[in-house]
């Protein structure tokens, strides 16, 4: 049996098992399976590896994209530069971390961009936001982070006003606010200042239209959820597991 899976916390809703089950059926890979491993804390990770010695690869999601790094023997240069891992390849030589969120986000965002999309706000500062920032750098789009507890060079939500939003036509939600089942949540930005010139991108894919996207669409903004990003990063993960 070739075993793959996903580690995270409170992830029973995840898209990944269904995606890979369909993929394995389509490819005739009857000896492959993909499981969810819901860890109460990252300290449970070594025991998981011992329990499933047939593991060949893992995806990593909230809240462990950064916390898993000390348990790995090697990092791909992109993952090292980002400081977050969402894919692990297991081999006799140990565990190597990669970040395929970069590919997923970049390649799903690029077709939506207009010449006027000259700067971006990233809402949140967790592991996923770091991959988004790296991808925006590859696309040549300047950015600012927005945080409830802003560090140097970051913005607070209270600092966002209509003038600020005019400067940043691309707004990307990298927080978990609005994720099922807590669908009433949304980042605290001045939605009345959103215009048809804006592009709102939400890494969340469940629900299909979050409150963040819905409020943006009501103002005429272009919107995109995180489903295609997830599909693209999953395919990039599989390429790493099956060279």
The DSSP result for 204-231, as a single string, is --SSSS-HHHHHHHHTT-EEE-SHHHHH
Query: Which residue of the set 65, 130, 211, 224 is catalytic?
Result: 65
Q: Can you give the length of the chain in residues?
A: 243
Q: By three-state DSSP, how is residue 116 classified?
A: coil
Bond into 181 cis (ω within 30):
yes
- Helix pair 227-241, 101-109: axis angle to 10 deg: 140
Is residue 224 part of the annotated active site? The answer reads: no
Q: By three-state DSSP, how is residue 183 classified?
A: coil
The DSSP result for 57-100, as a single string, is EEEE-TT-TTTTGGG-SEE-HHHHHHT--SEEEEETTEEEEE--
Give the closest residue to 33 by CA, choosing from 5, 75, 67, 71: 5
The β-bridge relationship of strands 87-91 and 55-60 is: antiparallel
The β-bridge relationship of strands 32-38 and 2-8 is: parallel
Q: Would you name the residues annotated as active-site residues?
A: 65
């Amino acid at each position: 049996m070739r075993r793959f899976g996903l580690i995270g916390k409170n992830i029973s809703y995840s898209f990944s098992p269904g995606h890979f089950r369909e993929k394995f059926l389509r490819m005739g890979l009857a000896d492959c399976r993909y499981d969810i491993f819901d860890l109460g804390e990252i300290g449970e990770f070594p025991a998981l590896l011992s329990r499933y010695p047939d593991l060949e690869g893992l995806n990593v999601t909230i809240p462990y994209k950064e916390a898993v790094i000390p348990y790995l023997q090697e990092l791909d240069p992109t993952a090292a530069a980002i400081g977050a891992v969402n894919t692990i390849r297991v081999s006799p030589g140990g565990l190597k971390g990669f970040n395929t969120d970069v590919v997923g986000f970049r390649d799903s965002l690029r077709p939506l961009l207009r010449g006027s999309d000259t700067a971006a706000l990233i809402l949140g500062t967790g592991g996923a936001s770091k991959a988004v920032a790296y991808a925006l750098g590859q696309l040549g789009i300047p950015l600012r982070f927005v945080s409830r507890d802003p560090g140097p060079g970051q913005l607070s939500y209270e600092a966002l006003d209509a003038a600020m939003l005019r400067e940043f036509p691309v707004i990307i939600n990298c927080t978990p606010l609005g994720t099922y089942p807590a669908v009433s949540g949304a980042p605290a930005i001045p939605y009345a200042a959103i215009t048809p010139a804006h592009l709102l991108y939400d890494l969340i894919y469940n629900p299909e239209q979050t409150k963040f996207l819905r409020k943006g669409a009501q103002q005429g903004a272009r919107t995109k959820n995180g489903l295609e990003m997830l599909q693209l990063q999953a395919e990039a993960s599989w390429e790493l597991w099956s060279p």
